[in-house]
């Protein structure tokens, strides 16, 4: 087994075990040597006591116990422990020589021979003691060397163990702690360097790397989700802000390129569509349609304002394959037109963009519905008020004029009692009453005029049809007004002016050709009526009641009018007034 692949726990156990073995081995060896040294001290003491007994034996005072001392010396020289020690220490030869010298010179001789050989015996004893002591010192030095060796071995092994644990445990552990702190602070870039060693720290580091990658991926995914949610909320806020501003403009400003161009351009940018075309039907019920085209590459053919570039972008990228879908601008009661959306056929709209376009269309529909309702309410209010005035005139002035005509008729029945001058005055009064009554009837007819539905054009067409029958000829009628150019208020005054003029043609002109044209130019509406009738002198007829009515109504339209006529030359009538400012 490769030592590098051993687990850290096993390594720590191995290091502890080895340190224990080394320490215990050193201690055991030391104990053996110390025990051996302690036995040698006993040997030295025993041999030293032999030397002391020799001196006692040759002393005069000890002569009585000489034999006893010799016996003691003999027993000590033959001590088994001393013999064993001498054999173990390699001093067996010296020990045997000392024993032989003792037997030959000391034990077998008398006191005198002992005295003669005592010094030599003591010298041999000293030599043996010196060798024993030398051997003891050698053992002590050996013990010291052994202690030093074990100490060095423990130090070396300890250094190796610490360095190995540092590189395999402490250093990786500190790296893992740093990585954990980085992960805690949201930094997932740090990585644990996995070594070739297959131990716990490398496995833990590899697991932490995997965990860090997983956390980073989760963190990035959460950041992306938060970013997407934030972008979605911001986009919805943009949508709501756009719809709010669109609603505000729809309700407060007229439908023109100046108002719709910024909104549709923003709608194009928000949704990614290519072009927006808005078709608004004429609330006066003509066949004309008010067209707003935004996002095209070129100026629309119907656009006559060459100084305006709001509705097209000549720098826009041309796309061949465009698909269209229509959104009807209608509610339960009316159809106001439609919006045509052009988009790249290769790209589909998401749900949010579709909902934004539909909401934009609904706001426009609601605005048109509100406008139509206001126009209807104004028409109803005006007609009710005019009918009320007509009824009051009929019940008051008309009754009085009728009564006055009856009384004048009674006076004319009894002319015998009247002078010629009185008769002439009565005739003049009767004529004035008839004129006043006729003017009152015209005024009542004017006040009781009703527009069919909401449309100006159907009402005008009905009026022309009526006068076609009265005049006996077909009036050449040309209607060139764009959609949504006149208001209900303007339409009522305009229809009354036309009726008054056609009535004059019917009563006075006796014309065979009548032309009526309505057109627009430079934001002004032009009315032209031409007949080839008798004509009249404008200087003499300027005070006629009908012309006064026309003048008053023209003033209500903030317009201007002019009549060109002479006897036998027919009549030309011209009227101009500004278009309605709302639509």
pLDDT of 256 > 80? The answer is no
pLDDT digits (tens, 9 = 90+) for 412-430: 776 667 677 777 887 788 7
Tell me which residue of 583, 115, 58, 516 sits closest to 367, measured CA to CA.
583
Contact 101, 121 (CB under 8 A): yes
pLDDT of 573 > 80? The answer is yes
pLDDT of 583 > 50? The answer is no
pLDDT of 132 > 50? The answer is yes
pLDDT of 543 > 50? The answer is no
Question: Could you confirm whether domain 451-583 is CATH 3.30.565.10?
Answer: yes
Query: Which pLDDT score, from 0 to 100, does residue 530 have?
Result: 93
Token readout for 154 is 């423990």
pLDDT digits (tens, 9 = 90+) for 92-122: 777 777 777 777 766 665 666 666 676 777 7
Contact 309, 241 (CB under 8 A): no
Exposed (0-12), middle (13-18) or buried (19+): which is 348, by Cβ within 10 Å? exposed
Contact 304, 257 (CB under 8 A): no
Starting at the edge strand that comes first in sequence, how are the strands of the sheet with 571-578 ordered? 476-479, 514-521, 524-531, 571-578, 560-565
Contact 272, 353 (CB under 8 A): yes
CATH architecture of the domain covering 3-180: Up-down Bundle (1.20)
| Number of C-beta neighbours around residue 572 at 10 A | 15
pLDDT above 90: percentage of residues in the chain: 8
Please report which confidence band the pLDDT of residue 333 belongs to, taking 50, 70 and 90 as the band edges.
confident
| Domain ranges, ordered by start, for the chain | 3-180, 199-248, 253-349, 363-448, 451-583
Query: Which pLDDT score, from 0 to 100, does residue 371 have?
Result: 79
107: which residues sit within 8 A by CB, 6+ positions away? 70, 74
Q: Has this prediction a pTM greater than 0.85?
A: no
Please report which confidence band the pLDDT of residue 12 belongs to, taking 50, 70 and 90 as the band edges.
confident
According to DSSP, residue 482 is labeled P
Tell me which residue of 147, 119, 110 sits closest to 31, measured CA to CA.
147
Do β-strands 275-281 and 560-565 pair in parallel, antiparallel, or remain unpaired?
unpaired
What does 117-144 look like in DSSP terms, one character per residue? HHHHHHHHHHHHHHHHHHHHHHHHHHHH
Question: Fold identical between 3-180 and 451-583?
Answer: no
pLDDT above 70: percentage of residues in the chain: 78
């Amino acid at each position: 087994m490769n030592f590098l692949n051993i687990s850290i726990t096993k390594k720590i156990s191995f290091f502890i075990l080895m340190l224990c073995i080394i320490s215990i081995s050193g201690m055991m060896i030391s104990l053996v040597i110390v025990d051996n040294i302690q036995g040698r001290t006993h040997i030295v003491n025993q041999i030293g006591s032999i030397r002391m007994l020799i001196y006692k034996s040759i002393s005069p005072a000890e002569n009585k116990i000489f034999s006893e001392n010799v016996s003691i010396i003999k027993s000590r020289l033959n001590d088994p422990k001393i013999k064993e020690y001498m054999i173990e220490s390699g001093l067996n030869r010296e020990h045997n020589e000392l024993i032989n010298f003792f037997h030959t010179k000391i034990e077998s001789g008398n006191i005198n021979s002992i005295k003669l050989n005592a010094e030599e015996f003591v010298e041999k004893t000293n030599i043996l003691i010196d060798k024993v002591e030398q051997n003891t010192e050698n053992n002590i030095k050996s013990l010291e060397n052994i202690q030093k060796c074990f100490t060095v071995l423990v130090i070396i092994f300890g250094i190796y163990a610490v360095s190995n644990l540092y590189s395999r445990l402490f250093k990786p552990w500190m790296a893992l702690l740093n990585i954990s702190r980085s992960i805690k602070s949201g930094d997932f870039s740090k990585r644990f360097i996995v070594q070739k060693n297959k131990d716990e720290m490398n496995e833990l580091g590899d697991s932490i790397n995997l965990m860090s990658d997983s956390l980073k991926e989760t963190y990035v995914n959460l950041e992306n989700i938060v970013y997407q949610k934030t972008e979605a909320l911001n986009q919805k806020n943009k949508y709501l802000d756009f719809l709010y501003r669109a609603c505000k403009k729809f309700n407060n400003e007229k439908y023109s390129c100046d108002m719709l161009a910024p909104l549709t351009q923003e709608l194009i940018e928000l949704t990614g569509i290519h072009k927006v075309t808005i078709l608004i039907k004429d609330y006066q019920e003509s066949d004309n349609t008010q067209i707003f085209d935004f996002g095209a590459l070129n100026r629309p053919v119907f656009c006559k304002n060459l100084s305006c570039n709001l509705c097209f972008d000549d720098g826009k990228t041309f796309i061949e394959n465009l698909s269209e879908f229509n959104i009807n601008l209608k509610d339960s009661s009316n159809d106001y037109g439609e919006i045509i959306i052009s988009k790249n056929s290769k790209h589909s709209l998401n749900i949010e963009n579709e909902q934004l376009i539909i909401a934009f269309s609904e706001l426009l529909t609601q605005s048109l519905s509100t406008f139509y309702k206001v126009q209807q309410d104004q028409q109803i209010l005006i007609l009710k008020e005019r009918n009320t005035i007509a009824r009051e005139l009929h019940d008051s002035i008309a009754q009085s004029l009728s009564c006055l005509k009856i009384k004048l008729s009674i006076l004319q029945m009894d002319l015998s009692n009247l002078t010629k001058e009185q008769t002439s005055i009565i005739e003049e009064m009767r004529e004035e009453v008839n004129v006043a009554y006729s003017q009152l009837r015209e005024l009542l007819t004017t006040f009781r005029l009703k527009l069919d539905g909401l449309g100006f054009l159907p009402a005008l067409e009905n009026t022309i049809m009526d006068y076609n029958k009265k005049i006996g000829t077909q009036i050449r009628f040309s209607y060139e007004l764009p959609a949504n150019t006149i208001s209900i208020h303007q339409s009522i005054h305009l229809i009354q002016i036309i009726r008054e003029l056609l009535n004059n043609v019917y009563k006075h002109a006796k014309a065979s050709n009548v032309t009526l044209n309505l057109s627009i130019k430079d934001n002004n509406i032009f009315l032209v009526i031409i007949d080839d009738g008798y004509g009249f002198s404008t200087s003499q007829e300027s005070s006629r009641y009908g012309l006064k009515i026309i003048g008053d109504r023209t003033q209500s339209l903030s317009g201007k009018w002019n009549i060109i006529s002479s006897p036998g030359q027919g009549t030309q009538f011209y009227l101009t007034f500004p278009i309605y400012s709302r639509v």
